[in-house]
Structure 1
Amino acid sequence: MKVKVQKERAGCALTLLIMIVFCVIVLLFPVCGSVSLAGWVQSPGHPQGYDPHSNLTWKKCAPTGHKITLTLIHLDLEESFECEDDALKLYADEVLLFTLCGRKSMKELQASVNPFLHSSPGGCLSASFLADYSNTERHTGFRGFYTVQDVNECMDPENECTQLCNNYIGGYRCFCRPGYILDSDKHTCQVSCSEDRTGSQEGVLMSPEWPGPYPENAVCSYTLAVEEGLQFELTFTGVFDVEKKENGECIDSLTIKPLSGDAETLCGRDVPSSLLTRSQRVEIIFKSDHKGANRGFSLYYKTRGMKCTGPVTPKSSLYPQDSEYLTGNKVTVKCDKGHVLKSNESAEVEYTATCQKNGQWSPVIPCEPVDCGIPELPELMELSDKDHPTTYLNKISLKCANKYYQLDKNDNFICNAEGNWVSESGQTLTEDLPKCEAVCGMNTEVSFGGRVFGGKPARSGQIPWQLFHKQLRRGGASLISDYWALTAAHVVDGLENTNMTWLGGIVNSQDRNPVTMEANKIIIHPNYQRVPVGGDRKNFNNDIALIKMSARVQLGPNIRPVCLPNTTNGPVMEGKMGTVSGFGGFEQGSTSAILRYGHIQEYPSEQCVFEDYFVTDNMFCAGDEVKRVDSCQGDIGGPLFFPMLGYGTKEQPYEVRGIVSWGPARCGHVSKSYYTKVQNYLGWIEETMANN
């Protein structure tokens, strides 16, 4: 009984204490206006007990500079697993702190719960109580006492006051020690050290508290200014000690800022050299951070007469040359090689400038690099890099506009001092302009086997240089550039003045979409012997002709030129097989609508004797007696090319070594025919193409 009475007295004493605190806070109510500074929060029906389905939601927020605290003095709720039946949930600033149920004594609440029931400054506390549908015994619920308290911001190390802090109800303020002023951020104390020395021509400037360590958070601005015609010379005396990092970056800094020109920032321990400012007005700015014990600087300043120095403008030189020039001195400014005066249409490179009283030159005309501009290029050619600079000493390179062409020589040019693009040999672009020549001897598909007489059909792109003519006289030709084709003279003999149409890019003569080429010129070899109409030809010497088309042939995957031979003597096919192609006969008495090809070899002339026919060194015999491969009527003028189809490479492209010329009347009977030896006519071909 005695113990129970003592507990009741202790409880009454605590309640009385809380009531006294409550009364004191109520007396201070006007301090916070309409905000309640203290009060109680309890479960419905407390202390008699709460009913089933009871609930309560409570929330209180503190004003700026205050926080709210809650002290639980009683807790008696139904005990359940994880408080899933009856529960009191407590939150601080919307964050759940505790979920409580069961019974806890005042001592337990004080030890494990109450120390954490407070908000952040200006934050909120909230509680949510919810009971389920029934309890096996009656529980009294909970009760707590909340108070709104001032926050002592000066105890917060993050309040950012650099020197002194004064706390008051609802806030705090920073203030400074004597000799310092509060910055506009209301937190930083700065030393008051700015000084205007306008008109002073000689004197000493020192960091604050020199020769002792300079104070923290110093921002000092010293202004030096005199009349026009004078400039300041600065000389550092004694110790120079301005804090910097090991990597050389300035922590504190001394900045010399003239009226014109670049500012110079100094720090470290090396005494700077004397500085001639070349300015009648100089601002000297000293800054320090919030820590350190460095000694600072001392400098002596004086004035001297203003002088001009060179250069007047970059990329130029002065005449006469001197280290300094007096006011009124005149100089000739001459642009360096490859540079001209800016915005000068006459491309002048020099002018006269005069030294002014302020130490500046007038006039100042910049020198800019010569611009060669974007060159005019012929059709099919373009710059490798369209956005590349075109000024002095910059380089450009050229390329052909599509992959079916390549440059015939060096493609690099440099912009010279005269504004011309020149090659490595020193010739101008117009004198040494490369040409885009059609890539020859390359096809887009490879295959093996087949014959012309009874041969195998070609596929698109296999023999892209094959041309075909089926009007007036059936025959073939070989495209050797994007303008010229090569054929046998007797294919075009007598047709020089006709509108001769050639077809290309096809493997079927009935194709409705061939590349159509109109002949502009037909040039037969001058030593070719023409036979009168109705005459019997026995001599096919010099059986070669060139055809120039009226327009550039649009090259593509199915129409590309074949190369000319790169040799002028020796065996035509070097003892290997070549390939002949055409739209001629492939069986006795029939011609082919399909392009066919076959592989043949070269034979000595003594093995190819045809009665009464005239054989010269300008022709050679080829065929295949074993497989009975041969050219035939309708193949006349077409190509015999090497290496054999399927074996051409970039290193050894296909070359037209022979032109189908003449042979036995019956195709396949002997399986040998004669071909014009193209290598004997390279000079005539090149000269004719160049002159026409």
Structure 2
Amino acid sequence: MMMRFTQSMKVKAQKEKVGCVLTLLIMIVFCVIVLLFPVCGSVSLAGWVQSPGHPQGYDPHSSLTWKKCAPTGHKITLTLIHLDLEESFECEDDALKLFADEVLLFTLCGRKSMKELQASVNPFLHSSSGGCLSVSFLADYSNTERHTGFRGFYTIQDVNECMDPENECTQLCNNYIGGYRCFCRPGYILDSDKHTCQVSCSEDRTGSREGVLMSPEWPGPYPENSVCSYILAVEEGLQFELTFMGVFDVEKKENGECIDSLTIKTLSGAVETFCERDVPSSVVTGSQRVEIIFRTDHKGANRGFSLYYETREMKCTGPVTPKSSLDPQHPEYSIGSEVIVKCDKGHVLKSKESAEVEYKATCQKNGQWSPVIPCEPVDCGIPDLPELTELSDKDPPTTYLNQISLKCANEYYQLDKNDNFTCNAEGNWESESGQKLTDDLPKCEPVCGINTEASFSGRVFGGKPASIKQIPWQLFHRRLPRGGASLISDYWVVTAAHVVDGHENMTMNWLGGTVNGQDTDPVTIETEKIIIHPKYNRVGLTNKQTNYDHDIALIKMSKRVSLGPNIRPVCLPKETDEPVKDGTVSGFGMFKKETVSRRLLYGHVQIYPLDKCDSVGLSATDNMICAGGDEVDSCQGDSGGPLFSPFLGYGSPDKPYRLTGIVSWGPSGCGNKSYKGYYTKVQNYLDWIKQTMEKN
């Protein structure tokens, strides 16, 4: 028992000795810190933080909240030397929480030796510069055994900013308590950003007529972060010429972009920048004042430049203004020289209201011409275009050599000719063939002979009803005289003369865009002028009954017909002598004995030679077409309506429907196999139609 007691006493004495030594070391560190650091107001530079009741032990429900912040340029460090808390799962009973700059670093419980704390916890217990450390300790209601708690020692220390690679001092750094400062090697000055060192290399050589300029430390490598500005200036009437000498070596990227640069600026604002290894050619500045700027970045080992500058008499060079020439023409001109400035073709003087193209200019002492009147391109302007015609591009450029093209305003029209027009030197729009736009203006003409629906069978007398859009050129007059007509443009209609004979001085309303003869809302087209063919044998003007020769009339409408899918013109025949082909006839006439159709009917007919048709006592002429089919015929009420080819349903944009005949006359008894109908042969009247439309 005595030996055991003695051994126990020895162990206890050794522990107390170790504790005293550790406490002594900490106190020595504390004393050193206090001696080395100035007193910063009320901020304590070192001290202890520990759990309540330490080292005897903490009571249930004990708690502690502690926070300490470092001044600017300092950081606070905490060293835990003791930890003895109740052990629990995820420290849910008793816990010590450690924070740095409001971020949780550790949640601790249980026991850890000083060695364990030094290895895994203490290296991380420090704040950022000017930051804070905080501690939160909380015990629950009871412990199965007594625990001594925790104890730590904190210190506030200066931060050595010079060790931070991001402090951005380009040369030298001096750390002091609470901060740092950058400074430069001899020959450099600190920039206004207090971090960058620059060479003091700018010079003002005003009044110097010749001399040498070199990059700093020439012929050795030039220093980094340089911005050198050299000013050369002399009296008016002189200019500087710069000649590079020896090596020219200014850093450049592989893609050609300058890293470092030598820039020459003149009084006129002209700028030239040089880099790489090729020696630049001599520079005649044309200026009495020149600024040469040399810039370098933060690294590199290039040698820089050396140049010789001298003055020479000021000269003027051409051109005086772009898009002009000089008379006389010389490489350069002495002060006082006069020249005639003439604008290039297609250009005029900007300040002149008239189309003047030349003026006189004199070379001044500053190397500039006076006066300077710019030459600007001739502007042809936006042309005046007829109705329905517009430019292909909105707001196109309209000056010399620019081009425009035209188009029609909607799909139901097309240009009668396509061409590009170029703005010429005289200010006129000119076609590729050399015609002025005003003399050869393309016109928008209706697209003819196209429909949007088709069928392949039917007849008029007893015929098949047409659907809307199938025969969009068909017009109808439903009051007496009842008859049909064909739209051939957006203003003109063709019909049989006998339909309108005696009604020339009356206003007639024609219906279009409908297949229903009793439609209450059709397109109504009002006549302005009715023109009957002059050779038509008009009933009532002679004692003879008409033989229907020249049975054709033109009607001009009072306003432009609004074209669309339901109403659009048919094409006229080609100006050829080719035989008339079989086709389709349409109308609102009788479709069975003494019955007038309420619907637009159509049917296909065959063309026969005149000598194969019975004219029933009337004389047929070469101005007529004989056509018919098996119980297919035009009849009363169809007069004036169209006979067109190809057959309905076989037309296309490449093969449009053409008006080959106009329903004219025939024997009584429609659909009789023994008789055929007669139609005015439109092909024979193309010239009359064209001339009449042009005159009216």
Aligned residues: 687
CA distance in 2, matches of 1:45, 1:640: 122
SS at match of 1:680: helix
2:682 aligns with one of 671, 678, 683: 678
Cα deviations by residue, 1:95-144 (Å, 9 ceiling, x for unpaired): 33333333322211211121122222223333444555665555444333
Structure 2 residue identity aligned to 1:455: G
Residue 691 of structure 2 corresponds to: 687
Choose the corresponding residue for 2:132, options 120, 124, 128.
Answer: 124
Equivalent residue for 2:670, pick from 667, 674, 691: 667
Q: Deviations over 1:491-546 (max 9, x none)?
A: 11111111111111222233333222111111112222222389895622222111
Post-superposition Cα deviations, 1:635-665, rounded to whole Å, max 9, x if no partner, equal: 2111122222232221112212221222232
Counterpart of 1:32 in 2: which secondary structure? coil
Q: Given the alignment, which residue of 636, 642, 645 partners 2:645?
A: 642
Aligned twin of 1:592: 597
Cα distance, 1:570–1:211 mapped onto 2, change above 3 Å: closer
Task: Tell which deviates more after alignment, 266-275 or 136-145.
Answer: 136-145
Question: Does 1:618 find its partner at 2:626?
Answer: no
- TM-score between both structures, scaled by the size of structure 2: 0.93
Structure-2 change in CA distance of 1:89 and 1:558 (3 Å): farther
Q: Structure 1 residue 96 and structure 2 residue 104: aligned?
A: yes
CA positional deviation for 1:392: 0.7
Q: Distance in 1 between matches of 2:253 and 2:390?
A: 54
Structural mapping, 1:69-88, within 5 Å? 69-88=77-96
Instruction: Give 1:25 deviation, angstroms.
Output: 4.5
**For residues 604 and 111 of structure 2, what CA distance do their matches in structure 1 show?**
108
Query: In the superposition, relative to structure 1, how do residues 669 and 299 fare at CA in structure 2: closer, same or farther (>3 Å)?
Result: same
Work out which of the residue numbers 263, 272, 284 in structure 2 matches 1:255: 263
1:683 partner SS: helix
Name which of 396, 400, 421 aligns with 1:392. 400
Give yes or no for contact 2:173–2:182 (8 Å, CA) kept in 1: yes
Secondary structure (helix, strand or coil) at the match of 1:490 reads: helix
Query: Which residue matches 2:584?
Result: 579
Q: CA deviation at 1:4?
A: 5.2
Query: Residue 403 in 1 paired to residue 408 in 2?
Result: no
CA contact (8 A) 1:88 1:127 kept: yes
Counting only pairs closer than 5 Å after superposition, residues 19-418 of structure 1 correspond to structure 2 as: 19-22=27-30, 24-25=32-33, 31-44=39-52, 46-50=54-58, 56-131=64-139, 136-418=144-426
Distance 1:463 1:16, change over 3 A: farther
CA offsets 1:199-237 (integer angstroms, 9 cap, x no match): 111111111122222222222111111111111111111
Aligned letter for 2:639?
I
- Cα deviation, 1:186-205, whole Å, max 9, x if unaligned, reads 11111111111111111111
Counterpart position of 1:629: 632
**Paired residues of 2:239 and 2:285 also in contact (CA < 8 A):** yes
Cα 1:645/1:132, change in 2 over 3 Å: farther
User: CA–CA distance in 1 between the matches of 2:92 and 2:470?
Assistant: 85
Task: Tell me by how many angstroms 1:461 deviates.
Answer: 2.0
Is the 8 Å Cα contact of residues 539 and 546 (structure 2) preserved in structure 1? no
| Compared CA separation, residues 22 and 511, structure 1 to 2 (3 A) | farther
- Alpha-carbon shift at residue 21 of structure 1 (Å): 3.6
| Amino acid in the other structure paired with 2:632 | V
C-alpha contact 1:568 1:680 (8 A) present in aligned 2: no
Amino acid at match of 2:501: D
Paired AA for residue 600 in structure 2: L
Q: CA deviation at 1:455?
A: 2.9
SS at match of 2:521: coil
2:484 matches 1:476: yes
> Using a 3 Å threshold, how does the CA distance of structure 1 residues 614 and 294 change in structure 2: closer, same or farther?
same
TM-aligned CA distance change 1:569 to 1:164, over 3 Å: same
Inter-partner Cα distance in structure 1 for 2:140 and 2:511: 98
1:40 Cα offset (Å): 3.5
- Aligned residue for 2:688, secondary structure, equals helix
Identity, % of aligned positions: 80
Question: SS state of the match for residue 322, structure 1?
Answer: coil
| 1:310 shift after superposition | 1.0
The separation in 2 between residues aligned to 1:534 and 1:329, in whole angstroms, is 92
TM-score scaled by length of structure 1: 0.94
- C-alpha offsets along residues 584-615 of structure 1, whole Å, 9 cap, x if unaligned? 22232222222222333333445532422322
Letter in 2 for 1:275: V
CA contact (8 A) 1:482 1:552 kept: yes
Give the letter aligned to residue 617 of structure 2. D
Q: Distance in 2 between matches of 1:622 and 1:135?
A: 124
Q: Distance in 2 between matches of 1:579 and 1:52?
A: 114
Compared CA separation, residues 328 and 595, structure 1 to 2 (3 A): same
Per-residue CA deviations over 1:540-575 (Å, capped at 9, x if unaligned) read: 2222111111111111221111111225323322xx
1:311 deviates by 0.9
Q: Which amino acid aligns with 1:634?
A: G
Rounded to whole Å, the distance in 2 between the matches of 1:386 and 1:48 is 94
For residues 365 and 565 of structure 1, the distance between their equivalents in structure 2, rounded to whole angstroms, comes to: 60
Partner of residue 541 from structure 1, selected from 539, 549, 567: 549
Q: Which amino acid aligns with 2:613?
A: C
Distance 2:596 2:384 in 1: 50
Cα-to-partner distance string for 1:305-360 (whole Å, 9 max, x where unaligned)? 11111111111111111112111111111111111111210121111111111111
Aligned residue type for 1:521: K
Equivalent position SS for 1:60: strand
For 1:685, the aligned partner's letter is I
Do the aligned residues in 2 keep the contact of 1:568 with 1:682 (CA within 8 Å)? no
Equivalent residue letter for 1:150: D
- One-letter amino acid of the counterpart of residue 663, structure 1: G
Go from structure 1 to structure 2 and tell me whether the alpha carbon gap of 1:37 and 1:509 turns closer, same or farther (over 3 Å shift): farther
Rounded Cα–Cα distance in structure 1 between residues aligned with 2:460 and 2:579: 23
Question: Relative to 1, partners in 2 of residues 1:183 and 1:528: Cα closer, same or farther, differing over 3 Å?
Answer: same
Structure 1 CA distance for aligned equivalents of residues 39 and 510 of structure 2 = 108
In the alignment, is the contact (CA less than 8 A) between 1:442 and 1:653 conserved in 2? Answer: yes
Indicate how the Cα distance of structure 1 residues 587 and 202 shifts in structure 2: closer, same or farther if over 3 A, else same: same
User: Does residue 609 of structure 1 match 2:617?
Assistant: no
Contact 2:419–2:432 (CA under 8 A) maintained in structure 1 = no
Query: Counterparts of 2:88 and 2:244 in 1: how far apart (Å)?
Result: 81
CA contact (8 A) 1:399 1:411 kept: no
State the secondary structure of the residue aligned to 2:692.
helix
